[in-house]
Amino acid sequence: MEEGSKKGQFDCENMTVIKHSNTIETSNNNCSNKLIQSNQCTSHEEESRASSGKTERNILCYVDDPESSAESEVENVCLQDDIGESESDSVCVEHLNPSEDQENRNSSTQTRTDHRGDDVGCQETDSLASASGSHKDCESNGVPPHSVDDEEIFRRAREEGRVNVIFPGCITQDGCCRFVGELLKCVLYQRQQMPMTYDQMVFLQKQQHNASQDIIKQRSAKASGGLDWRRCQKMLQELDDVLAHLEALFSLSRVPRVLFMLGGSTVLPTELYEVNMESVAVGAGENSLRTSTCLRQIFRTLFVADLLSDAKSVRLMSTTVLALGHRDCGVTGFKPRVDFKVPTKVKRQVISIGSDLSLAGELPKTDLEDYIWFQAPVTVKGFCK
């Protein structure tokens, strides 16, 4: 009997709601739309958070049109009756959609379906947004091909101890000699065998030479920074001797490989650097690239590769230069080392210089069996201030 009375009460309330809605059609439509949206949000929130959902529902009801009083009454009745969540949902839906029971059931199903579709839509929207965002990020942070090569250069230098420089053309023999000379100076400076760069030492030496003829020597002493001039001049002399001998060798023979051995002995050096030019296409002056441009590219690659960086401080060592030259080139300064073998116990840093064969043409096939190692007669001893 009580249940029947409750059902009757619901029916009366439904008739009341219908009457109100019929009176004003336009406003009812707007209200119903708003209510539908708010209810969807409310039900969605109810699923996640029950108590807060209820509170929000009340807030939404207050914000609604003057007819909200009836809505709130209806909802209060639902709460008072302690009906289950599903039933309360169905009741709310029934209020929102005035129709028979069968249609109510169908409409509720459609509502849920729409709700799910909306969720999917939201997710799609988010993914699309993120996709577009990432796309923009890619575009904005786009790396030109040069930087990609830089990373490869750095990785290879770290893992293999090797730096590759490819030139799009032929290089003169004198250019190869300059490469080796500049690389030798760079290695000596970077490995702290010289307190300053070679050119700076030469400049200060000239300044010192000029100052010795002048009366004022104190100024030059300050400018020189307290260098040990005897050691400085001795090292410059040794280095100039090595460079001169290298120039003589390059003028007499093709030089596929050059070794810089620092410290220890030629059997167990402390450090070993190799300049490998087996892939260089040697050409005449007019058909070849400019040496200065190639030097800049070599040193840029060296800088990117970070080949010569080492946090460990290095002792002063003797540097020996060996070069691979033809057996019968007749060079006089160097000492031939017929039995020399490149040490394998030491980690070797290789600077490989080559020509792009698709542009420079094929290399003349060289018989490396006729090439032997020549050792520079002078060793360069490192010194510090």
Partner 1 sequence: MDISDHHMTDVGIIRPDVHIEVHVKSQSTAKRSDVRTHVLSLLDRHSTVLRSFKWMDFDNEFLTKNVESVTIADVTGPKLVDLKVHNLCIHIFTLNDDSPSTLNLEEEEELSAANLWLLPAVEFHGVWESLIYEEGIKTQLLDYVSTTIFFSDKNVDSNLIAWNRVVLLHGPPGTGKTSLCKGLAQKLSIRLSDRYAHSQFVEINSHSLFSKWFSESGKLVTKMFQKIQELIDDKDALVFVLIDEVESLTAARSAAQAGTEPSDAIRVVNSVLTQLDQIKRHPNVVILTTSNVTEKIDLAFVDRADIKQYIGPPSAKAIFNIYLSSLEELMKRQIIYPRQQLVSLEELETMNFMESDVTRLSLCLMNISQRSVGLSGRALRKIPFLAHALYGKTSTMTLKGFLTAMEHAVNKQRQEQASLVNCV
Q: Amino acid identity of 140?
A: S
Distance of closest approach, residue 231 Cβ to partner 1, in angstroms: 16
Closest to partner 1 by CB, 251 or 265? 265
Q: How far is the CB of 244 from partner 1 (least distance, A)?
A: 18
Q: Cβ contacts of residue 170 below 8 Å, gap of 6+?
A: 281, 282, 283, 284, 287, 288, 289, 355, 360, 361
* Contact positions vs partner 1 (CB under 8 A): 264-268, 312, 315, 327-328, 335-336, 338-339, 341, 344-345, 372
Query: Is the Cβ of residue 49 or residue 315 nearer to partner 1 in the bound state?
Result: 315
- Whole-number Å distance between alpha carbons of 62 and 68: 7
Considering the complex, what minimum distance in angstroms separates the CB of residue 363 from partner 1?
24
Identity of the residue, 154 or 340, whose beta carbon is nearer to partner 1 in the bound complex: 340
Query: Of the two residues 53 and 377, which places its CB atom closer to partner 1 in the complex?
Result: 377
Give the nearest distance from C-beta 334 to partner 1 in angstroms: 9
We find the least distance from the C-beta atom of residue 150 to partner 1, in angstroms, to be: 32
Q: Would you say 53 or 264 has its CB closer to partner 1?
A: 264
101 versus 339: smaller Cβ distance to partner 1 = 339
Say if CB 331 and CB 253 are below 8 A apart. yes
| Min CB(379)–partner 1 separation in Å | 9
Nearer to partner 1, 179 or 373 (CB): 373
The residues that bridge with 367 in the sheet, in sequence order, are none
Q: Letter for the amino acid at 102?
A: Q
